[in-house]
Amino acid sequence: MLVYNTLVRRKQTFKPLSDREVGVYTCGPTVYWFAHIGNMKSYVSEDVIKRTLMHSGYKVKHVMNITDVGHLVGDANIGEDKVKMEARKEHKSALDVSRFYTHAFIEDMERLNIIKPDVICKATDHIPEMLALVKKLDEKGYLYKVETGMYYDTSKFKDYGALAGMDFEKLNKYLKAGARVERAAGIRNTTDFAVWRFSNSEEKEMVWDSEWGRGFPGWHIECSAMSMKYLGNHFDIHMGGIDHIPVHHTNEIAQSEGATGEKFVNYWMHMAFLKVDGKKMAKSLGNVYTIKELVEKGFDPIAVRLLFISGHYRQELNFTIESLKGMTNTLSMLYSFIDRMNGVLKSGGGSKDKAFMEFVDKSRKGFFSAMEDDFSTPEALASMYSLVRESNKRAESGMGAEEARHVIDVMLEFDSILGLEFDKRLSRTDKLSEEVEKLIKERNEARKHKDFAEADRIRRVLKEKGVTLEDTAHGTVWKSSD
Ligand SMILES: [Zn+2]
């Protein structure tokens, strides 16, 4: 399997640290508001990567954090805590705000059929681990104290900035150019950051005592502390949005490797941004969507998922309502295809064409080799669509049940990675056909006994289920409009 590693800026053959388990950490949300579709796109891409690892036989241990304290508004170092700020606006406690949006986030993950991480860890539950890490860094001489908190002197960490492909000087210049606010007094380098911030906030769930003073953790320290707690000092894969490269992930490396003296992560993987209508998402442009909003507009979240994976995870994707409508059609085409193959399977018999069976195998191979080459979903999907096209053609010229079985099995195997719920569709149609067949039988009975009122009632019940009946010379046939 080939994986593009940001650290070396090229694809590398994936070699896990242990053959028992692959450790994967993904940076989770800051729970002060609903996650927008740009955030959710990253989580879907990460889910597809994880599912591919699982399909290739790796046992994955997946850890994701929930930032419920310490993430400041605006510049990386000055400003108010995002969760606290929203709590004040909503006249709620910070704990209520973080609980509410954590729940909303998990709901979004479920809607998008993202496999739940093995460990979901909240920052506020891991303050002792963070303080232990701060202590180690302090003992090793990486920290200095200013009025606002304990800061990491980034000039002391060898290779600081390597993940961003910059040296210390260059990264300092780069961040200075992008800074929007003044820095707190006494800070030595633009890249220096707080590992512990002093605060006398009244809200007791948001401040903790420490030997350096009462306060709360910096944002970056939580990911270092929690990833190492659950995955060990050195683990396989760390993922997150591309925006985390120059600050958040760069600082995670400085903290973790500074404290342990060991290598922190082998493969760093970053998800590209999502644009909306060709523009960067911004509240001021009114183009920030949430999954909940799209569901309320009547879109199937699985169609959103299909749209997210239609592009490569390292390529920027443009989201438009039009493109989502297109994906909705594509998804329903795929579901009808599953129904059709299921119909062929159920009708039994038919022939088995060797060339066709080989074509199915070739498509399967094409799909998985694309996924194992740095998770190329566009190429993998192209293999699937060509399988759908050829199978539809074959169905017209007399496909056999055995062929349909093979196509369905391969489609389900694709879906173990794509997560488009083909399995649910299959069981839904099976269940529906059972129900419909039973009702049709009852209706035929009623008609035989000239109970036309009952026959009409059954027809209406079926209509409500989206099923229309047609009485032909060969009996009653039915069609599902959904
Ligand atoms: Zn993180």
Residue 223 CA to ligand 1 centre (angstroms): 5
Are 168 and 154 contacting, i.e. CB atoms less than 8 angstroms apart?
yes
Domain boundary residue among 271, 298, 317? 271
Same-domain status, 238 and 335: no
Q: Encode 244-273 in three state secondary structure.
A: HHHHHHHHHHHHHHHHHCCCCEEEEEEECC
User: What band does 158 get if pLDDT is binned at 50, 70 and 90?
Assistant: very high
Same-domain status, 446 and 367: no
Residue 289 CA to ligand 1 centre (angstroms): 23
Residue 145 CA to ligand 1 centre (angstroms): 24
Segment 465-476 shows an average pLDDT of: 74
Are 291 and 108 contacting, i.e. CB atoms less than 8 angstroms apart?
yes
Residue 27 CA to ligand 1 centre (angstroms): 4
The residue segments making up the domain with residue 319 are 308-420
Q: What's the pLDDT at 474?
A: 59
Residue 251 CA to ligand 1 centre (angstroms): 10
User: What band does 78 get if pLDDT is binned at 50, 70 and 90?
Assistant: low
Segment 151-164 shows an average pLDDT of: 95
User: What band does 481 get if pLDDT is binned at 50, 70 and 90?
Assistant: low
Residue 342 CA to ligand 1 centre (angstroms): 44
Cα separation, 453 vs 472, whole angstroms: 20
Same-domain status, 167 and 244: yes
Residue 15 CA to ligand 1 centre (angstroms): 23
Residue 282 lies in a domain: no
Residue 279 lies in a domain: no
Residue 301 lies in a domain: no
> 148-162, 422-436, 444-458 — which is least confidently predicted?
422-436
Cα separation, 139 vs 201, whole angstroms: 27
> 32-36, 116-120, 250-254, 403-407 — which is least confidently predicted?
32-36
Same-domain status, 155 and 183: yes
Residue 263 CA to ligand 1 centre (angstroms): 17
Q: Which residues have C-beta within 8 Å of that of residue 125, sequence separation ≥ 6?
A: none
Same-domain status, 20 and 103: yes
Domain boundary residue among 370, 387, 420? 420
> Percent of the chain beyond pLDDT 90?
72
Neighbour count for residue 188 (Cβ, 10 Å): 15
Count of domains for the chain: 3
Q: What's the pLDDT at 181?
A: 55
Residue 432 CA to ligand 1 centre (angstroms): 45
Residue 303 lies in a domain: no
Residue 253 CA to ligand 1 centre (angstroms): 11
Residue 90 CA to ligand 1 centre (angstroms): 26
Same-domain status, 260 and 366: no
User: What band does 19 get if pLDDT is binned at 50, 70 and 90?
Assistant: confident
Residue 99 lies in a domain: yes
Same-domain status, 329 and 232: no
Residue 204 CA to ligand 1 centre (angstroms): 24
Residue 417 CA to ligand 1 centre (angstroms): 25
Same-domain status, 242 and 350: no
Same-domain status, 249 and 165: yes
Same-domain status, 197 and 143: yes
Residue 149 CA to ligand 1 centre (angstroms): 20
Residue 26 CA to ligand 1 centre (angstroms): 7
Q: Is 90 exceeded by the pLDDT of residue 15?
A: yes
Residue 367 CA to ligand 1 centre (angstroms): 31
Mean pLDDT, the chain, integer: 91
The domain that contains 116 carries what CATH number? 3.40.50.620
Q: What's the pLDDT at 451?
A: 93
Segment 374-385 shows an average pLDDT of: 98
Residue 249 CA to ligand 1 centre (angstroms): 7
Residue 408 CA to ligand 1 centre (angstroms): 39
261 dihedral zone (left: phi>0; alpha: psi -120 to 50; beta)? left
Q: What is the widest separation between alpha-carbon atoms in the chain?
A: 93
> 46-55, 291-300, 342-351, 391-400 — which is least confidently predicted?
342-351
Q: What's the pLDDT at 284?
A: 80
Residue 320 CA to ligand 1 centre (angstroms): 29
Q: Which residues surround ligand 1, an ion (CB under 5 A)?
A: 27, 223
Same-domain status, 248 and 329: no
* pLDDT digits 0-9 by tens, 285-335: 888 999 999 999 999 999 999 999 999 999 999 999 999 999 999 999 999
Q: Is 80 exceeded by the pLDDT of residue 99?
A: yes
Q: What's the pLDDT at 476?
A: 72
Q: What's the pLDDT at 224?
A: 97
Q: Helices 37-55 and 301-309 sit at what angle, rounded to 10 degrees?
A: 70
Residue 2 CA to ligand 1 centre (angstroms): 24
Residue 295 lies in a domain: no
Domain boundary residue among 252, 271, 290? 271
* pLDDT digits 0-9 by tens, 170-228: 999 888 887 655 667 788 999 999 999 998 777 777 899 999 999 999 989 999 999 99
HSE (side-chain half, CA atoms, 13 Å) at 277? 8
Q: What's the pLDDT at 346?
A: 84
Residue 191 CA to ligand 1 centre (angstroms): 17
Are 39 and 1 contacting, i.e. CB atoms less than 8 angstroms apart?
no
Residue 332 CA to ligand 1 centre (angstroms): 36
Q: What's the pLDDT at 4?
A: 98
Are 216 and 70 contacting, i.e. CB atoms less than 8 angstroms apart?
yes
* pLDDT digits 0-9 by tens, 266-286: 999 999 999 999 999 887 888
User: What band does 255 get if pLDDT is binned at 50, 70 and 90?
Assistant: very high
Which amino acid is it at 402? E
Residue 287 lies in a domain: no
Round the CA-based radius of gyration of the chain to a whole number and report it.
27
Residue 425 lies in a domain: no
| CA triple 26-249-314, angle to 5 deg | 65
Same-domain status, 17 and 47: yes
Q: Helices 401-418 and 422-448 sit at what angle, rounded to 10 degrees?
A: 130
Q: What's the pLDDT at 200?
A: 77
